[in-house]
Structure 1
């Protein structure tokens, strides 16, 4: 059986669409692991990120909702700093998308 021919321009377009679909997840993961200052991974455990922080809650166990993550990131919680002044609203949304998607596995 022969493989179907897919024109290179179509293959490129399909790969681009796939990358765009994963973009918020990847941006959020980068922010979680190193982009936010301080990075979320310093304090939180999240298996997808390979982090094992002991200061904040274990996000794998907590499995927060998008609203919970957005609220915590914007305003801070306890010793967690607020990131509303240092991250854009799109970055906060990407971070919330990452955490909720990573804990929903």
Structure 2
């Protein structure tokens, strides 16, 4: 019995998962740079987004994981306002994924 069809099937799953992850990354970048009001890039530094804000933490240095970003965006932190009423759960999930991935959190 050949394992080749099984290997091809698994490769397809990996590629599909990667494509979905890339889509979520792109959606999150759009939230970070344009959709959130005020824009995350206004306050935060994040190299991948070309953001050089100096009000909030430098996310490249902080390297927050997805859960930390999700909680901060949902409920606010310090002077950062909560975005739970202005962003959908899907947008919050996407921006959390984007920030964590772009900063290499968990690497």
TM (norm. structure 2) is 0.78
> How many matched pairs?
91
Give the Cα–Cα distance (whole angstroms) in 2 for the partners of residues 31 and 102 of structure 1: 14
Runs of 4 or more consecutive aligned structure 1 residues displaced over 4 Å after TM superposition: 16-19
| Correspondences of 1:25-104 after superposition (within 5 Å) | 25-104=25-104
CA-atom RMSD in angstroms: 1.8
Q: For structure 1, which runs of at least 5 residues remain unmatched after alignment?
A: 1-15
Superposed CA offset, 1:27-76 (max 9, x none) = 10011011100010000000000000000000000000111101100000
For residue 99 of structure 2, give the secondary structure of its aligned residue in structure 1.
helix
| Alignment gaps of 5+ in structure 2 | 1-15
CA distance in 2, matches of 1:91, 1:23: 12
Q: Identify the residue that residue 7 of structure 2 maps to in structure 1.
A: none
Report the secondary structure of 1:83's partner residue. Answer: coil
Return the structure number with greater helix share.
2
